[in-house]
Amino acid sequence: MRGSVHRRSSGANGWLLSLPALLLLLVAASGPLVIVAIYSFLEPGDYSGVRWIFSGDAWFRILFERDIFDQTVSLADANLSIFWRSVKLSLATTLVTFALGLPTAWFIATRPARSRAIWLFLITIPFWTNLLIRTFAIMEVIRNQGLLNTALIKIGLITDPIQILYTDTAVLIGMAYVYLPLMVLPLFAAIDRFDFNLIEAGYDLYASRMQILRRVILPIIRPGIVAGCILVFVPSLGAYVTPRVLGGGKNMMIGNFIELQFGQGQNWPLGAALSMVLLIVVLGALLIYTRVASKEDPHG
């Protein structure tokens, strides 16, 4: 009897101790999201802000548009192209970082313990620098008179500079550079726990290197792969600084499009609706990760 009472009292004390943090999360995190969700169902103001009149027009304008003369409805091609570019570049960034991050993480995980810490330190160094500075550094490499074009011209591979800056390729290069550590670190954590005796067992069973990679290594490190892909895909989808600097004003992604609605467009409900769509996509990606992680560890 005393044990049950003690457990109840300790449970109540735990809730009381966590109450300030819960209130902070409710006000600081959930509060702004609720405001954005409410704004998405209102009408835009005359110059800025919103008018407190319920309307679903902002959600309608995400995918459709009305002709200003005969009010006929058609697909919003500009919006759909921005959505497609955002998803395409985010998926491409995830694939590129995975292709570069897997061998990098494998190399670090197979180093001696002393040098392993140094390699991990080098991987985390970019996080010490502001994102804008790293983006400008990439711009200095890929611009027409940058390091890449200058080197290619000097060795005679090209005669004229290659136009990379202000293209989707530039955005892809920039985001891959920025988010590569977010792929390497989860992969390293998964590979570091890998039992390398399984590889020797595979060779003893006459498996080829590709078979060992597909049937032994990748299935075991799958949680790290999924975690790295989520950590790269989610911020890539909502990226703002890198597409703005390297893509210019003509290669917008959804983050730039949202900023445009709250800024020059002065259409806060549409910007809020786009923000909610981005939030829904991110939540979907996180649910996929949770589902995969729960399969790997049924007991949580």
What is the number of other CB atoms lying within 10 angstroms of the CB of residue 122?
Answer: 11
Question: What is the pLDDT at residue 104?
Answer: 94
Count of structural domains, the chain: 1
Spatial contact of 167 and 161, defined as CB atoms under 8 Å apart: no
Spatial contact of 247 and 253, defined as CB atoms under 8 Å apart: yes
Burial class of 288 by CB neighbour count within 10 A (0 to 12, 13 to 18, 19+): middle
Question: What is the pLDDT at residue 29?
Answer: 77
Share of the chain above pLDDT 90, in %: 53
| Enclosing H/E stretch for 217 | none
The domain that holds 121 is classified in CATH as 1.10.3720.10
* pLDDT mean over 131-152: 91
**Is the per-residue pLDDT at 100 higher than 60?**
yes
Of 147, 142, 91, the residue nearest 247 (C-alpha):
142
Inside any domain, residue 35: no
Inside any domain, residue 63: no
Of 89, 33, 81, the residue nearest 237 (C-alpha):
89
Spatial contact of 190 and 223, defined as CB atoms under 8 Å apart: yes
**What are the pLDDT digits (tens) for 35-91?**
999 999 999 988 878 999 999 999 999 999 888 777 788 888 889 999 999 999 999
Burial class of 105 by CB neighbour count within 10 A (0 to 12, 13 to 18, 19+): buried
Inside any domain, residue 23: no
Range of the domain at 107: 77-296
The structure's pTM equals 0.86
Inside any domain, residue 42: no
Inside any domain, residue 66: no
In this prediction, residue 300 has a pLDDT band, given cuts at 50, 70 and 90, of very low
**What are the pLDDT digits (tens) for 241-298?**
999 999 887 778 999 999 999 988 889 999 999 999 999 988 888 887 777 767 665 5
**What are the pLDDT digits (tens) for 196-226?**
889 889 888 888 889 999 999 999 998 899 8
More confident call, 20 vs 86: 86
Provide the Cα torsion 147, 123, 105, 184; round to 10°.
-90
Question: What is the pLDDT at residue 7?
Answer: 56
In this prediction, residue 13 has a pLDDT band, given cuts at 50, 70 and 90, of low
More confident call, 236 vs 47: 236
Spatial contact of 50 and 39, defined as CB atoms under 8 Å apart: yes
Spatial contact of 74 and 64, defined as CB atoms under 8 Å apart: yes
What's the rounded Cα separation, in Å, for the pair 128 and 106? 23
In this prediction, residue 26 has a pLDDT band, given cuts at 50, 70 and 90, of confident
